Structures are given as structure tokens and as C-alpha cells.
Amino acid sequence: VKLLIPRETAPGERRVAATPETVRRLVAKGATLQVERGAGQAAGFLDADYAAVGAELWDGEACDWETADAVLCVQPPRAEVLARLQAGALLVGLLAPYGATDLVERLNDRRASAIALELLPRITRAQSMDVLSSQANIAGYKAVLLAAAALDRYVPMLMTAAGTIQPSRVLILGAGVAGLQALATARRLGGVVYVSDVRPAVKEQVESLGGRFIDPPQLEEAPAEVGGYARQASEAFLAAQRQQLADQLALADMVICTALVPGRPAPRLISEAMLDGMRPGAVVVDLAVAQGGNCFGTIPGATVERRGVLLIGADGLPSTVPNHASALYARNIAALIEHVLVEDGFRLDPEDPILDGCLFTHAGVCRRDDIVQPAGLSPIG
Ligand code: NAD
């Protein structure tokens, strides 16, 4: 089979969907890998390194999209590329499937199949393919480094000849993959870390990493979880949670926001009034900013100062650690390709528990109208 790796064209995207390591791995399985010249450059992977492990290099214009069996990407390719896919071709990437009616129409036009890695199930068998986890991990790590670099204080406790410096106080909202890595990173820097989540099950994980868990408000309609994800909280629950967090915020030096509910706007956990209670010099990094933000006033890709508090709208952090982000992303994709690869093509079995949820278009038919058609969006909670 012929696999195509395009150079990513989305603004700010520096990752690539295959590295020399995964090209070697897939070539050994009998695949032909065609890599666009310069595809890995922003992530530190050179054309010569791809060529050395058996990739064929092509120039953007000269690409034969029509003959590709699969296109492996990070973000969705350009419309003109999609228009040239052959019938039955497979597209794999972070395809932003929620409400993606245009993309689905283009794919169905070509009778192409697409796997949206956002929809991969969080089951043990799919762990090696779990792009959301590998990338969220990087985002959680980098968010703490950004906050530490912007902070007007030390993070660790220091005993110096000029006296003792108290450690910074860190508040993390959401203890999923990103939040737990943020906790671990902040602890490595020596911070005292408090963590809030609505899923009581994460308390143990937080404590095992040296964090202090803030128990969720004890309301009857507590959102709890479904399939390991948080359900959407009611407005009453969020109001109780905000009240609880207001005191924490007033003491915090660094706040890392990672709270998400799949397919829904991010819960708004920090209001304008709560920001007013924070000390000047404190820093908020909002990883949920692209989903509407956990914090009032954060803007995707921008840093704004509000009454001395720095609000960092941290969109696309994995792309700012492009070498390791690509290394992990490419391994996740290689594991998925190996899972579906058969002698003369791909076996895309919609009954396969790994593919069932994430094969969102197949041979001209959209299989996940529930998430693609915004009108059909059903509440998760
Ligand atoms: P996510 O990105 O959807 O959400 C991040 C966190 O925000 C979650 O912990 C969620 O509970 C929390 N949250 C939602 N609303 C909140 C609120 N109002 N206040 C505070 N926190 C709130 O989650 P994720 O990082 O993708 O992880 C989801 C789960 O999947 C985790 O339990 C994780 O351990 C699990 N997981 C399992 C596997 C596997 O078994 N293969 C792989 C990866 C992750």
C-alpha cells in the first residue's frame, strides 16, 4: 500500500505524522511511504533522514494524491488535496470531527474513509494509538513551563543567605492526562499543587503524584463520569464549584486550566469576579481556550494582562514541542496503521471496537452523524 505524508499547512503547525523511525517501521511491513519534501523540517527531521530509511520524497506540486491508499496527517489537509483522493482512500489524523460537515461532504464525494483520532476509544487495546493522551501529556508539561517562565516568583522553596523563599502555589483544574502531567511537572519544579476535578476517581492519582485533591462540591447532580470522561456539569454544580475555587484562586501563583467535557464547550470555572480576587503577578494558562476556555478573558494564541494577572490562551502547545510531539504522534499512527494493514490494503471493519467510534466516514457514508451534525449533538450528561 502507498502511504502519503504531506507537509502540514495549518498555521503554526510544526508536527509531522511520520518520523524516520515510523517510516522504517512501516516500510518493514511492506508499505510504500511517500513524504513531501520538508514535511519533517519544523520538527527536526530532515528529508535525507527519511530517504535513508526508504521513503520516497516528492515536491508538493508534483504529488500523485490520486494513487495514495492512505494520507497520514496531523491536521486536516487542504480542500484541493481532499478533492484528489481516490475512491476508497483512507485519511487518518486529528480531523476535528465535531461539526465537520464540510470535511465529511468532501470525503463522501470521494468515497474516502476517515479516522478521526480524537474519537479513538480510551480502551487498553488502543492505548498505543492514543494520540489525545500523547499530545495532552505534552500540553500539560509545556503549560507549566510557560507559567513558570512568566511568573514573578520562584516555583521551588529556597533557603538562601537572604532568607527563605516559600514555594509557589499551583492550582490545576482538571486531572485528565494534561492535568496529571501538569501536576507532575509542577511538583518537579518544587511547587505546592492543588487539583480540582469532578471525577472523584482521580483523587488517588492526584495524591500519588504529590498533589492535594480538592473534593468536588457534594451536590446531588454531581456530573461524575461516563466511560472515563466527565459528563457535562449543571449550571448549579458549576456555580458551587466556582465558589469553592474562589478561595483557592486568591492564594494561587499559577493556575493551569485543563478541564474538558468531550464534544461540549469547556466548563467556565473562573469568572471575571474570581480573577479580580487573584494577586497581581499570578499567571493563568488556559489549555481549554480553543473549546471556549475554563477562564474568563483568555484568547486563543494570545497573552493578555488583566489587572496584573497574566492570562495565557495556550492553544496548540504540542506543536511547540514538535520533535517529541511528532515522535509520539507518529508512533501512535504507525500502531493504528499496523492494526488495519492487510496484504493488499486496509481492513476497515466497523465492528472492530477500536474503529467503531473513530472511523467516522466509511466508503461514502458518515457513520458518526451524532457528532458531525451539530443539530444532532446530544448532551453527554
Ligand atoms: P479530558 O481532556 O476530556 O478532560 C480533562 C479533565 O477535565 C478530566 O479529568 C475531566 O474529569 C475534567 N473536568 C471536566 N469538567 C470539569 C470541571 N467542571 N471541573 C474540574 N475538572 C473537570 O480528559 P482526558 O485527559 O482525555 O482523560 C479522560 C479519562 O480517560 C481519564 O480518566 C484518563 O485517565 C482516561 N484515559 C484512559 C486511557 C486508556 O485506558 N487507554 C487512555 C487515556 C486516558
CA 262 – ligand 1 centroid, Å: 9
278 DSSP 8-state letter:
S
Q: Supply the pLDDT for residue 279.
A: 97
Torsion of CA 33, 38, 44, 50, to 10 degrees: 30
Q: Is 38 exposed, middle or buried (0-12, 13-18, 19+ CB in 10 A)?
A: middle
Q: Supply the pLDDT for residue 133.
A: 97
CA 56 – ligand 1 centroid, Å: 39
Mutation choice for ligand 1 from 98, 123, 130, 133, CB with most ligand atoms inside 8 A: 133
* Look-up of cell digits 488556559: 286
Residue nearest to atom 33 of ligand 1 (CA): 176
Residues with pLDDT less than 70, the chain:
220-224, 227, 374-381
Q: Which pTM does this prediction carry?
A: 0.93
Q: Supply the pLDDT for residue 376.
A: 41
CA 199 – ligand 1 centroid, Å: 8
Q: Supply the pLDDT for residue 378.
A: 44
CA 230 – ligand 1 centroid, Å: 6
Between the two ends of the chain, the Cα-to-Cα distance in Å is: 42
- As a whole number of angstroms, the distance between CA 142 and CA 359 comes to 30
Q: Supply the pLDDT for residue 380.
A: 39
- Tell which atom from ligand 1 comes closest to the C-alpha of 177: 25
- As a whole number of angstroms, the distance between CA 127 and CA 20 comes to 22
Residue nearest to atom 31 of ligand 1 (CA): 176
Residue nearest to atom 9 of ligand 1 (CA): 176
Q: Supply the pLDDT for residue 290.
A: 93
Q: Which residues line ligand 1 (CB under 6 A)?
A: 122-124, 127, 130, 132-133, 136, 173-179, 196-199, 202, 228-230, 233, 241, 258-262, 267, 269
Residue nearest to atom 24 of ligand 1 (CA): 176
- Tell which atom from ligand 1 comes closest to the C-alpha of 127: 41
Torsions phi, psi for 198 (to 5 deg) = -85, -15
Mutation choice for ligand 1 from 198, 202, 209, 291, CB with most ligand atoms inside 8 A: 198
Residue nearest to atom 4 of ligand 1 (CA): 260
Cβ proximity of 182 and 144 under 8 Å: yes
Q: Enumerate the active-site residues.
A: 122, 127, 130, 133, 229
**Residues whose CB is less than 8 angstroms from the CB of residue 321 and which lie 6 or more positions away in sequence, other chains included:** 138, 141, 142
